[in-house]
Amino acid sequence: MGEPVALDHLAKLYPGGSRALDDVSLTVDPGTFLVLLGPSGSGKTTLLRCVAGIERATSGRITIGSVVVADDKIHFPPERRDLSMVFQDYGLWPHLVARDNVAFASRRHRISRDAARRAAEEMLERVGLAGLAHRYPSELSGGEQQRVSLARALVGQTGLVLCDEPLSNLDADLRDRMRVEISSLIRASGATTIYITHDQSEAFALADRIGVLEKGRLVQMGSPEDIYTNPVTPFVARFTGLAGELPVRICDAGSNDTVRVEMSTRSARGSLHARTSPGCLDVSAGLLMIRPTAISLAGPEGNGHHLVGTVSDVAFRGRGYEHAVELHEGTRLSGIFSEQRVGRGDTVGLRLDTGGCLVFPDRGAGTTVVLDRAPTA
Ligand code: ADP
Ligand code: MG
């Protein structure tokens, strides 16, 4: 059912010189839900439009199933690519009612008008719009229009579904509900999915595989767990959620791919073992990147904590509280979860867990680091 997809050395240079895609190669296994994650301007929409055939790549090859749909010589139009799309702004025909918008996508199956309408009505029922088939898009809410657009993508039973930030125009609570529905309906269809978003929590919630785009380049591809645990660059680490980062001095190698580091802040208490990335042991200056999940709050006195700071914000999150803590020189660590509420202005100790602390070489800092330690006298 789901088609495999392969991109080989895909590049897109827009007139005027902006390099929207730079040598992107990836494969998607049949039936896999791939999320491409990247900030605005990283090339997500360009990539999706090239796969869809709406945009022509400057170079490279696109294969869907066993068919090369684009290379130096070939450029299949969208309707010959066995795929469907869900757009951010829904992309419905304003002059057609919901049912006909959906039925339109059955055209290519060469079925009768009646059969297409029946299929459309069934699909609208599956996306929860049974009673609204006769409404025009202007008579539907944003969430309902996106459901119509999802029904249209699914009724065609294509082997590949492409989604361009389909949730970003919806309200927060609706976004969560639609995310679950999109995920379960597309997965039930068996189609391969390429879904793009700038929202890391959406990406982690949806994906079988995540690819991270930065300035038109695919910088990492892996399972959500792999991307979260082993980001390959500071950019990927930042873009997938940090409590904060601190300059450190890299001291010596520890066991199991760890290094001992000293944090260059007066708030630090002793050294810490953190996970290494390639090149860490060649330099003495590093950047410690801390996942929110790696920090726990402790009393300000006593042993075992690595940092001391002042609570600057606390937010109730239902299951507990999220704290922001300010260190001596104004560095802020945020998203620190605790079941207990610690008040604003209170002094706290922070314990850091090696598993969620990653060190990257800080090449910009050169090799000299001044340790800004509290005077001991
Ligand atoms: P994203 O979807 O990740 O926000 P886009 O693929 O829309 O990124 O854009 C990638 C880059 O290509 C951006 O720098 C953007 O300004 C540029 N770009 C996009 N479309 C065009 C176009 N039609 N002409 C020129 N530059 C474009
Ligand atoms: Mg975009």
Verify that 51 and 135 share a domain, yes or no.
yes
Q: 36-45, 113-122, 286-295, 367-376: which has the minimum mean pLDDT?
A: 367-376
Residue 328 lies in a domain: yes
Q: In this predicted structure, what is the pLDDT of residue 151?
A: 94
- Count of structural domains within the chain: 2
Specify the residue with its C-alpha closest to ligand 1, atom 15: 41
What pLDDT shows up at residue 61?
98
Q: Which amino acid is at 142?
A: G
Q: State the pLDDT confidence band at 314, using cuts at 50, 70 and 90.
A: very high
The residue to mutate among 21, 42, 46, having the most atoms of ligand 1 within 8 angstroms of its beta carbon, is 46
Same domain, 70 and 40: yes
Choice between 366 and 242, residue whose per-residue pLDDT is larger: 242
Cβ atoms 130, 138 nearer than 8 A: no
Whole-angstrom distance, CA of residue 37 vs CA of residue 218: 10
Domain boundary (203, 229, 255) is at 229
CB of 293 closer than 8 Å to CB of 320 = no
The strand pair at 209-214 and 217-222 is best described as: antiparallel
C-alpha R_g of the chain:
25
* Residue 377 confidence (pLDDT): 36
Q: Is 254 in the pocket of ligand 1 (CB under 6 A)?
A: no
Residue 377 falls inside a structural domain = no
- Give the pLDDT confidence score for residue 280 in this predicted structure: 83
Is the CB of 20 inside a 6 Å radius of any atom of ligand 1? Answer: yes
50 part of a folded domain? yes
Amino acid at 199: D
What CATH number has the domain bearing residue 83? 3.40.50.300
Mean pLDDT confidence for 102-125: 86
- Residue 282 in any domain: the answer is yes
pLDDT over 90 (residue 374): no
Tell me what pLDDT residue 108 has.
67
Q: Supply the range of the domain harboring residue 288.
A: 242-361
Same domain, 100 and 203: yes
| 259 and 330 fall within a common domain | yes
Q: Is the CB of 42 under 6 A from ligand 1?
A: yes
What's 337's domain CATH number?
Answer: 2.40.50.140
* Residue 21 CB–ligand 1 contact under 6 Å: no
The separation between the first and the last C-alpha atoms of the chain, rounded to the nearest angstrom, is 72
Provide the phi-psi class of 90: left if phi over 0, else alpha when psi is between -120 and 50, else beta. Answer: left
Question: 210 and 251: one domain?
Answer: no
Residue 272 maps to a domain: yes
268 shares its domain with 219 = no
Shared domain check, 250 and 131? no
CA atoms within 13 A on the CB side of 325: 31
- Average pLDDT of the residues of the chain: 91
Task: Count other Cβ atoms within 10 Å, centred on residue 256.
Answer: 8
Q: Which ligand is nearest to the CA of 43?
A: 1
Q: CB of 44 closer than 6 A to ligand 1?
A: yes
Decide if 265 contacts 350 (C-beta within 8 A): no
Residue 337 located in a structural domain? yes
Residue 161 Cα to ligand 1 middle (Å): 21
Buried b (16+ CB within 10 A) or exposed e, 205-227: ebbebbbbbbebebbbbbebeeb
Protein residue whose Cα sits closest to atom 22 of ligand 1: 14
Q: Note whether 126 and 159 are same-domain residues.
A: yes
Among 45, 51, 89, residue to substitute to test ligand 1 (most atoms within 8 Å of Cβ): 45
**330-349: pLDDT as tens digits:** 899 999 999 999 999 999 99
So what's the pLDDT on residue 365?
Answer: 62
- Same domain? For 130 and 77 the reply is yes
Lowest mean pLDDT among 243-252, 254-263, 327-336, 364-373: 364-373
Same domain, 204 and 133: yes
Alpha carbon 14 to chain centroid, angstroms: 25
Residue 175 and residue 261 in one domain: no
63: left (phi over 0), alpha (psi -120 to 50) or beta: beta
Residue 121 lies in a domain: yes
Indicate if the pLDDT at residue 371 is higher than 70: no
Give the DSSP per-residue string, 153-187. HHHTT-SEEEEESTTTTS-HHHHHHHHHHHHHHHH
Q: What percent of the chain has pLDDT over 70?
A: 96
Who's near 364: CB < 8 A, 6+ residues apart?
none
Q: What is the pLDDT of residues 38-62, one digit of tens each?
A: 999 999 999 999 999 999 999 999 9
Residue 319 is inside which H or E element, if any?
A: none
| 114 and 168 both lie in a single domain | yes
What's the helix, strand, coil split of the chain in %, to 5? Answer: 30, 35, 40
262 touches 251 (CB < 8 A): yes
Residue 165 lies in a domain: yes
Give the C-alpha separation, 5 to 10, whole Å.
Answer: 13
User: In the structure encoding, which two tokens stand for residue 72, read together?
Assistant: 């130096």
